[in-house]
Structure 1
């Protein structure tokens, strides 16, 4: 495991769609197995949510794994693929609370740009990192991480080591 910082912004409103899906599954199992409906419904929900998040955002998952192993070139490649995947299928990312059963406040496209910029920074490629941070700022102006990152990079340019 590496020392790569992780930011997880949770969107509490996403709990409602999750509870609706879970309730529906429990109701379906209640018709079939009334005594074990809660157990089977919960297990099915976990199985579905884990499977969806394993297969659909595959490149994102591979990018995170590569970052944790400090393989930043490979993480960049995977996050670029993730960004492209979710750009081509923006509805999956937009409705990720239902389509991926994800509670993340950040979209996968937003996370991809942030992680690409971070990976370039870890590789010492400040210009490429700044390019992606600026792209992130342009596409997601409400992102609080990007302002901090840009300020940090600008202050590092003005500091002699």
Structure 2
């Protein structure tokens, strides 16, 4: 399914190192059982585990992203809000997501949730709430380039309407 909605994935490259270590450990375990195809089995096992972790633990986020791709922005908002609340309650999962979810994302799931909520409100025509969520994202994550860009865009639109 191709999407007309831009999806941005930023990678924290340093987190690849623990991923390679986990994959190596899985391959080492497979080596005990199959000395010829342990690399293949290890890689497949790693992929299955990483996908399962993201589908189970970050299920609200994934469901929200699916709604965004389908341009069902109003339906995505509560999913992202649930995702934000889950990762707020379980901050350690988000903080150590390079191990808990085998995710190399640069942004936390909480930051992504706030930005996605702001984006969805903006796409739904609610600029006021969109701006509030971009500002909230900036309050919690002052270096968030996505939140800064979203706010700049909203401000430039309101400035051009004022003229």
| Fold conserved between structures, TM > 0.5 | yes
| Count, aligned residues | 161
User: Runs of 5+ in structure 2 lacking a partner?
Assistant: none
CA–CA separation in structure 2 for the residues paired with 1:26 and 1:138? 42
How far is 1:34 from its partner? 1.0
Separation (CA, whole Å) in 2 of partners of 1:23 and 1:2: 35
Partner of 2:7: 6
Aligned partners of 1:81 and 1:32: how far apart in 2?
Answer: 41
| 1:21 equivalent in structure 2 | 22
Q: Report the equivalent of 1:38.
A: 39
1:2, CA displacement in angstroms?
3.4
Within a 5 Å distance, the mapping from 1:4-153 to structure 2 comes to: 4-153=5-154
Q: TM-score, normalised by structure 1?
A: 0.97
Is the deviation greater in 29-38 or in 10-19?
29-38
Aligned equivalents of 1:39, 1:102: Cα separation in 2: 21
Q: Note the C-alpha offset of 1:106.
A: 0.5
Distance 1:40 1:101 in 2: 17
1:87 and 1:34 map into 2 onto residues whose CA distance is: 43
- Structure 1: gaps spanning 5 or more residues: none
Q: Deviations over 1:55-103 (max 9, x none)?
A: 1100000000001111111100100000000000000000000000001
**Equivalents in 2 of 1:129, 1:99: separation in Å?**
30
